[in-house]
């Protein structure tokens, strides 16, 4: 499945390069949602909440009422997770709070599973220079996605794996990294970060990995209608299998 992304900062839809420099501001959330109407799921990331710089809660709640949204950014308490579930979030993407200094934060993850259910949870394994990064990708841990992914399986239904080194750069991604992660788990995987060609998308889909797209569609490098056709073809083939 191909999943368009809506990243929010200061009430606007934006795209960042490597999580740091704002590269562009897109149309309003309602306009972008109409453009993404052909896609079964949308990924919504509250960048302000991820960076501890406020939230875009009214927009996030509205988006969750309009479409099936997987929501991330600043989900660091069970209370916050429950609020987003009540707002209509389809799935919750948890990054920073899933990790402690020495490894996964099992105490928090256990309480989260008890509160919302394992099927609701997607753990973010966002990585730069081979290490998992947290707090809006500002802080690097000593953890590697390949080493912790299996430990995290009991606490989630899937993983969002962002190759931050190439995020927003339109230079392609690291397919070998995603292939290694695919070999380590049978959980749902979603790839993000630098994906900018149909060839990359088809390779990832052939591995059974979902593809989350941002910059490549906001800049027009990839055509939304063509991507929607790929999604429909994929859905038809899976239904026939």
| Cα 187 to Cα 213: distance, rounded to the nearest angstrom | 20
pLDDT tens by residue, 114-128: 999 999 999 999 999
Tokens standing for 66?
A: 């309009």
Domain enclosing residue 212, as ranges:
2-240
Work out whether strand 91-94 and strand 42-46 pair parallel, antiparallel, or are unpaired.
unpaired
User: For residues 235 and 88, what is the distance between their CA atoms, to the nearest angstrom?
Assistant: 24
Give, in order, the Cα–Cα distances in Å from 34 to each of 39, 48, 113, 133: 10, 23, 33, 32
| Region at 220 (left for phi over 0; alpha for psi -120 to 50; beta for the rest) | left
Confidence of residue 17 (pLDDT cuts 50, 70, 90): confident
pLDDT at residue 235, as a whole number: 74
Phi and psi at residue 167, to the nearest 5°:
-60, 125
Look at residue 141 and give its three-state secondary structure: coil
3-state secondary structure (DSSP) of residue 60: helix
> What CATH number is attached to the domain comprising 124?
3.20.20.70
For the full predicted model, state whether its pTM sits above 0.85: yes
Structural domain tally of the chain?
Answer: 1
Q: Rounded to 5 degrees, what are φ and ψ at 127?
A: -130, 140
User: pLDDT tens digit string along 210-240?
Assistant: 999 999 999 999 999 999 999 999 876 564 4
Task: Give the catalytic positions in this structure.
Answer: 7, 126
Radius of gyration for the chain, computed over Cα atoms and rounded to the nearest angstrom: 16
């Amino acid at each position: 499945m191909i999943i368009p992304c809506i990243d929010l900062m200061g009430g606007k839809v934006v795209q960042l390069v490597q999580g740091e420099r704002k590269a562009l501001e897109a149309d309003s959330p309602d306009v972008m949602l109409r453009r993404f109407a052909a896609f079964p799921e949308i990924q919504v990331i509250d960048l302000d909440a991820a960076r501890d710089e406020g939230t875009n809660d009214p927009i996030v709640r509205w988006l969750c009422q309009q479409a099936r949204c997987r929501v991330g950014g600043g989900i660091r308490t069970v209370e916050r997770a429950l609020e987003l579930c009540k707002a209509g979030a389809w799935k919750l993407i948890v990054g920073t709070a899933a990790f402690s200094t020495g490894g996964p934060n099992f105490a928090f993850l256990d309480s989260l599973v008890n509160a919302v259910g394992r099927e609701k949870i997607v753990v973010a394994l966002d990585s730069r220079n081979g290490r998992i990064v947290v707090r809006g990708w500002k802080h690097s841990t000593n953890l590697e996605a390949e080493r912790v992914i299996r430990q995290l399986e009991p606490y989630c239904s899937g993983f969002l794996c962002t190759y931050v080194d190439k995020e927003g750069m339109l230079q392609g991604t690291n397919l070998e990294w995603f292939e290694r992660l695919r070999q380590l788990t049978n959980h749902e995987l979603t790839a993000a970060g630098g994906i900018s060609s149909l060839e990359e998308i088809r390779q990832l889909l052939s591995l059974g990995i979902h593809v989350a797209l941002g910059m490549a569609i906001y800049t027009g490098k990839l055509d939304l209608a063509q991507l929607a056709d790929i999604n429909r073809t994929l859905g038809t083939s899976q239904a026939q299998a």
